[in-house]
A and B are shown apart, each in its own frame.
Chain A
């Protein structure tokens, strides 16, 4: 891999910046997969309203096949593509370096290959195992191989960014990494550490077992390895949104980053403590001691601190911008923010949803409250306002400047873009109210309840009419939002005319503080060191648990029950 110095020029987008094209391909491919997944959503929302329309869907063998598509495409495939696109492109531009394009395209096609393999298994109804694919439910080998290739390509992209950054550090001794690149590289370091669990689970256990080379797996070990990755993966989804909130929103609001050192501290903390927290998904599992559950619960709560810092810091940046424009009063300044800008508004709505999503997350992570909500409809209610809104709506907001920036084509119908963001936000909020409420009434998640015989459905529905109606309605609102959003995306991309010269720039924000002189910032710039410390923390928090399981395994054969 070589890195070349980048020459600024705006005449022919792809000639002078071929990295724009790879960013475009990654993000748009992700959006296309998301569209397929999103179209499954209303069917599921109606299921939770007690209305079964799967029998009219001849291409779906079951609710669970549709749910597998929805979860895998939205949560795993879309996020990975989009993040690989932006977190390769943005740090490269921030460091003024060009990625090795041959390698970058190789990772893109490898990822496509993996997704096609997994899609063959899912579309044939041979892997209706949902996106958590807990063994001993046994899917087709192509599903696991495809998933492994998806993760592997994302790691190669991350490796390429870290390689570029390491080269930049060598070429610029004593210089502090620019903040946007810093946040991006920290996110990749975190993901490399976080992905180890799923890599080991899939490569060493599930693939050999699905191929019939090994007869049995240990469900508890597999579940533990899955959640080792399964929780920090949410930070892999969230941190790219934070990059945008910290680095771009101040500029988009018309101001500056008010506390860059804290932004760096937040990302350093995410790198250090994001990973050893997965046990809070396993509070109700037998076979793991309460002591370890409590240790990882405490670490989970520690991760809430950088998120609370982000809430303060991003809000302060927006207030600073609004006051520069003459905003006054305790809350009156908010009126001065650019609410007619779809990119800005979408992301602020994403932040608002994350206030509720984050608060719900603290309830989930508490060992005593978790027993009330574990595996109920509350949980999908929670992650639709976190990854489904905080992350996804931020990514939508980013596309409103990113697609014009990459292609030189004008954003199609900004008013529709703005409206789609509000509809998405409102739809998700209504969905969240309905699902959290259903969960508190003990309605399980991921269950095809609408197809139950009446007397069984009534056991769930008797006092849940209002939340069930809300969930069904929200599915329709979200369908409208998706149609509006994808009209904007398609309308933008399908224009013939380009005006590269006047395309929007990446909204890198300036900083209010000078960080060059700060010792703390200088120290935090040692991301390899932080990575090593994070590795040691993970070893301490997971080593004994995993060792206990590996040395006393509980092996059971696989089964197909769908």
Chain B
């Protein structure tokens, strides 16, 4: 084994490694662009990007919960606050796209729905928007996954997915 041979293999390895990385990048970009993941984004249609926490009454967060907008689509407004989710329990229909809007009234929180890819960093005043369709009816655990204070672990709630009528 001389160093010319090592350098040859090394160059080959460099190309293979770079190619693998390039494939990963392209596949992931494809996933994001095709919305194959419920990404937290600033889509251009997202008008409610920020809310004034001293005046929540003027926003849809005044009455958190599931709503249907003018075109019949489901919108779920949720608030994260120390140390609970509001509403603490919510029912949504299966098989329908649900657009979740969530913000925090105090410090950072997380919102993760088990068995789904819904995973959101919740920042006070910033509104996160994620669209997800629950296929299977059942009870889903919702947990806070960002440290928010001494009651962080207790910050759990339920999302009940019901058979569509």
Instruction: Tell me which residues from 183 to 230 in chain A have a Cβ below 8 Å from any Cβ of chain B.
Output: 219-220, 223
Residue of A nearest to B26 (CB): A298
In the assembled complex, how far is the CB of residue A401 from the closest CB belonging to chain B, in whole angstroms?
A: 26
- Contact A451–B153 (Cβ < 8 Å): yes
- Contact B107–A284 (Cβ < 8 Å): no
Q: Which residues of B contact A445 (CB under 8 A)?
A: 145
- Contact B150–A287 (Cβ < 8 Å): no
Residue of B nearest to A561 (CB): B149
Q: Which residues of B contact A282 (CB under 8 A)?
A: 121
Q: CA of A362 to CA of B20 in the docked complex: distance in angstroms?
A: 11
- Contact B40–A258 (Cβ < 8 Å): no
User: What number of B residues sit within 8 Å (CB to CB) of A?
Assistant: 61
Q: Which residues of A contact B10 (CB under 8 A)?
A: 259, 262, 309, 312-313, 316
In the assembled complex, how far is the CB of residue B141 from the closest CB belonging to chain A, in whole angstroms?
A: 5
- On chain A, which size bracket covers the interface? 35 or more
Give the residue of B18, B123, B144 whose beta carbon is less than 8 angstroms from that of A223: B123
Give the residue of B13, B39, B149, B153 whose beta carbon is less than 8 angstroms from that of A137: B149
Query: A442 at interface (Cβ–Cβ under 8 A)?
Result: yes
Known interface pairs A282-B121, A285-B121, A309-B14; A62-B112 also in contact (CB < 8 Å): no
In the assembled complex, how far is the CB of residue B102 from the closest CB belonging to chain A, in whole angstroms?
A: 9
Q: Which residues of B contact A339 (CB under 8 A)?
A: none
Q: CA of A372 to CA of B38 in the docked complex: distance in angstroms?
A: 11
Instruction: Tell me which residues from 110 to 141 in chain A have a Cβ below 8 Å from any Cβ of chain B.
Output: 128, 130, 132, 134, 136-137
Known interface pairs A368-B28, A452-B154; A286-B3 also in contact (CB < 8 Å): no
Q: CA of A298 to CA of B29 in the docked complex: distance in angstroms?
A: 9
Known interface pairs A259-B3, A374-B119; A368-B31 also in contact (CB < 8 Å): yes
Give the residue of B21, B29, B40, B110 whose beta carbon is less than 8 angstroms from that of A444: B110
- Contact A442–B112 (Cβ < 8 Å): yes
Which residues on A are within 8 Å of B, measured CB to CB? 62, 64, 128, 130, 132, 134, 136-137, 219-220, 223, 258-259, 262, 282-290, 294, 297-298, 301-302, 304-305, 308-309, 312-313, 316, 319-320, 323, 362, 366-369, 371-372, 374-376, 442, 444-449, 451-452, 456, 459-460, 512-513, 554, 556, 559, 561-562
Report the 7 A-B pairs with minimum CB-CB distance, sorted nearest first: A561-B149, A444-B145, A286-B128, A375-B145, A447-B153, A308-B17, A368-B31
